[in-house]
Amino acid sequence: MFVLFEEAGKFLAGRILSEADSSLQVELDSGKRVKVKSVNALLRFEKPAPAELVANGHKLSEEIELDLAWEFASDDEFGFADLARDYFSADPAKPATLEQQAAALFRLFDSPHYFRRAGKGRFKKAPADILQLALAAIEKKKQVALQITQWAAELAEGNCPQPVREQLYKILFKPDKNSAEYKAVVEASRNTHTAPLDLLQRSGAIASAYQFHWKRFLFENFPKGTGFPTLQAPQPAGDLPLAAVQAFSIDDSSTTEIDDALSVTGLGSGTITLGIHIAAPGLAVQPGSAIDHVGRARLSTVYMPGYKLTMLPDDIVQSYTLQEGRNCPALSLYITLDEASLAISETVTRIEQVPIASNLRHDVLDSTFTEAFFEAAHAGHAAGDQPWASELTFLHRLARHLKAQREVVRGKPENFNRPDYNFKLDNPGGREPQGDEKVSISIRLRGAPLDLIVAEAMILANSTWGQWLADHGLPGIYRSQASLAPGVKVRMGTRSLPHAGLGVKSYAWSTSPLRRYTDLVNQWQIIACVQHGRTAALVAPFKPKDAELFSIISSFDAAYSAYNGFQSGIERYWTLKYLQQNNLTELTATAFKDNLVRADDLPLVLPAAGAAGLPRGARVKVRLGEIDEMTLDIGGTVTERLDTVAGATSPEAAPVDDEDDGEAELASGPISIAVDMQDAGDAGAATETGTAPTAAPGAS
C-alpha cells in the first residue's frame, strides 16, 4: 500500500511500512523512512508506483484551467477529490481517477489566489471581487517583471532608461530594493558581470564625475533642493546707538557673508580699546521664526571651490553683512588694554550700530602686510602711507602676544607647517560649476600676518563670550578638548569647559552668525546677557539643561561633518583636475605616514609604492598613476629620494603638524562612493576661530 502525503508544504509519496492510531511509517523511493501523521495522509493507493503518480499528477495539473475550475467549485468548503470529480468526470456519480485527484490537489494547492486552504486537502474558493483584485495584482507583477527585464536589457546594451536615470542616486545610496528600477540595475549588473556604478556610468546615467559627486551631495543633504522660500529680512530696532569707532573687516575678495570687523582706538595714548564687531542678525531674527527654521534646516554655509550654498537667503545676508560705507547692527566686544604691556583691564559687550569704513581683502593686501612689513614697523620704522597700517601693526603685535599666551597654556607651540590652498575656477559670475572649468590653485602660508590678526581676535571673542555666558548662568554651545593627548577630540556641549587645543578655559563659537547656526544660537544668549544682565537666565531663549540645545548640537555636528567632508572631497576632485589640465605626471612630495606622501605644492595626499618605511619628512619624487575621478583615487610610485639619508629625520624626532591626524587623513583617498565621507575633524585654531577653511572662496 502506498500513500500520498503533505510534509512542510510539499507533496511526497511512499510505501506504508506500518500504521498506528495517529501516524504511519513510510519509506520513500530514496530509501529514507519518515514518520507521517495520519491527518497528513491524503491519498492511499496500490498502484501506480509513488513516483509515477506524483509525476503524472503534476503533468495533468498543468492542464487544469483555473477559471473553469473556479466555476466548477462549490461555494462551500470542498475537498480536492470533489473538485476532481466535478472537473474531470462526465458522470457525477463516478469518482475521479487517482491521477486526476492528485492533479486537482496540486493545482488547488498552487493557486491560493483562486482557492484558499481550509484544512488538509480542504479548500474554499475565493470571492469573485477578491479574485479579481488578486488577478490584477498578478498581472501587474508580471508586467513589472517584464519591465525589469526590458530595462536590464537596455542597461546591458549601454542605454539607461529614463526612470532608472531619475532614481540614480537613490538606487546607489538609499535603495528601495523592491523597486523595479533597483531590480533592473541588479539584474543587468549580474547579467553583464559589471559593477553597478560602472554599468550606470557606461550607460550614460552619470553625466560627469563632478556631477556625480555634486548631485550625490545634494541628494543626501538637500533632498528638497537648494532654493530658499521667499522671506523678508526683519530689521532691528532703529534706535541702536552709533559706535564712536571706524571699523574694518579682513576677508577674501569673494566673501559676501562678512561676519566680523575690528576697530582700534586710543593709539599713542597708553590705553587702547580693541573693538571686535560681529554682525547681529540675532537682534531681529527670532527663535522659531521662518528665517530661523531656514537656518536650522541648513545649519551652516556649504563651501566648495567656485561656489557655495549659504545658510541664509542672500537678501537676509545683505541686510546684516558688515558692508563698508554702512552703519551696521552689531554685537561688539570692547577690550581695554595697556598699550605697552598689552594687559587686559576690562571687557564690555554692547549692542549698537557700527560704522564700517573698509572691507580689506586678503588677496589684495597679503603681499603688502607681510611679516617683514610688521617686523620693520615694530622696530620703529615708518609704516608708510598704507591705510590702516598703524591699526594693523598694533593688532599684529597683540595677536603674537595672545598666541604666545595660549601656547603657554597649551604646553607647546601651535605647529601648522602646511600652507592653505586657494582654488579659483574660471566660472564668471559665480555660476554653478560644471566640472570642466579651468582651475588654478595658489598657496597662502598658514599663519600669514592678516590671518593671524583675525584668528587671534576671534579666539579672544569666542573665549571671552563663552566665559561670560557661564558667569551669567546661561548655557551655550561650547567646544572643548580635554587634553592634547592622541585621540582626544574636540567635542561640542552646553557647558563651559577648557579647550586644550586652543589653550583657553572656555570657547563658544559666536563670531560667524551669518554662516553657522551655532553662532546664531550663542548670539541670542549673549544678547540676553547684554539686555538683562544677571536675570538673563529667566528670559534667554535657551535655559539650563534645555533639551533643544542638545538637539541642535546633534544636528549641527552631523551636518557640519558632512559639509566639511564634501568640501574636502570636491577640493580633491579639482586638484586631480588640475593635474590633468596641466599634464602633470610627477611631483615632489614628503613622506608622512605609512605609505602616504603629501605633495609639496598641491593639497594632495596619495599612497605611493616605495614610500613605506621612509622616515617622516623624507622628500621624494613621485611618478603619478592613473586618475579615477569617480572614486577620487590616484596612486604613485616613488622614483627618487631627494634628501640625503644622513639628513633624514626619524619618525620619532620629526616635528608633527597639528593637523597630521586631522583633515589630512580625509585627503588621502580614495573616497568611497558607497558610504558617507568621513568626518573632517577639527583642524586647530585656523578652523576653531570662526573662519571657514581659507581654501574655499568666500569662506573667511
Assess contact for 500 and 484: CB atoms under 8 A. Answer: yes
Mean pLDDT of the chain, nearest integer? 87
pLDDT value at position 666? 42
Tens digits of residue pLDDT in 610-642:
999 899 889 999 999 999 998 899 999 999 999
The answer on pLDDT for 694 being more than 50 is no
Measured CA angle at 611 (ends 605, 615), to 5 deg: 100
pLDDT value at position 382? 67
pLDDT value at position 658? 53
pLDDT band at 384 (very low <50, low <70, confident <90, very high): low
* Residue 223 burial (C-beta neighbours within 10 Å; 0-12, 13-18, 19+): exposed
For range 84-91, the mean pLDDT = 84
* Residue 340 burial (C-beta neighbours within 10 Å; 0-12, 13-18, 19+): exposed
pLDDT value at position 198? 87
Tens digits of residue pLDDT in 394-421:
999 999 999 999 999 998 888 777 788 8
**Is the bond into 670 cis (omega within 30 degrees of 0)?**
yes
Question: Grid coordinates in use for 84?
Answer: 476532481
Q: Using DSSP, state whether 482 is helix, strand or coil.
A: coil
pLDDT value at position 679? 27
Tens digits of residue pLDDT in 415-462:
777 788 889 999 877 788 999 999 999 987 777 899 999 999 999 999
Tens digits of residue pLDDT in 539-596:
999 998 899 999 999 999 999 999 999 999 999 999 999 999 999 999 999 998 888 9
Q: Rounded to 5 degrees, what are φ and ψ at 327?
A: -95, 115
Q: How far apart are CA 283 and CA 533, in angstroms?
A: 16
pLDDT value at position 503? 93
Measured CA angle at 564 (ends 561, 565), to 5 deg: 80
For range 59-68, the mean pLDDT = 93
Q: How far apart are CA 516 and CA 301, in angstroms?
A: 7
pLDDT band at 690 (very low <50, low <70, confident <90, very high): very low
Tens digits of residue pLDDT in 15-31:
999 999 889 999 998 99
Q: Could you give the percent of the chain with pLDDT greater than 70?
A: 91
- The helix (H) or strand (E) run that includes residue 567 is helix 547-581
Assess contact for 636 and 610: CB atoms under 8 A. Answer: no
Domains annotated on the chain, with CATH: 2-126 (2.30.30.360), 130-206 (no CATH), 247-554 (no CATH), 563-688 (no CATH)
In this predicted structure, which of 283-287, 311-315, 579-583, 685-689 has the lowest mean pLDDT? Answer: 685-689
Bin 480: left if φ > 0, else alpha if -120 < ψ < 50, else beta.
beta
Tens digits of residue pLDDT in 601-617:
999 999 999 999 899 88
Q: With b meaning 16 or more CB within 10 Å and e meaning fewer, what string describes 345-359?
A: eebebbbbbbbbbeb
For 392-434, the DSSP string reads HHHHHHHHHHHHHHHHHHHTS-----SPEEEEEE--GGGPPP-
Q: Using DSSP, state whether 381 is helix, strand or coil.
A: coil
Q: Which has more confidence, 688 or 104? A: 104
The answer on pLDDT for 259 being more than 70 is yes
Tens digits of residue pLDDT in 512-529:
999 999 999 999 999 999
Assess contact for 478 and 496: CB atoms under 8 A. Answer: yes
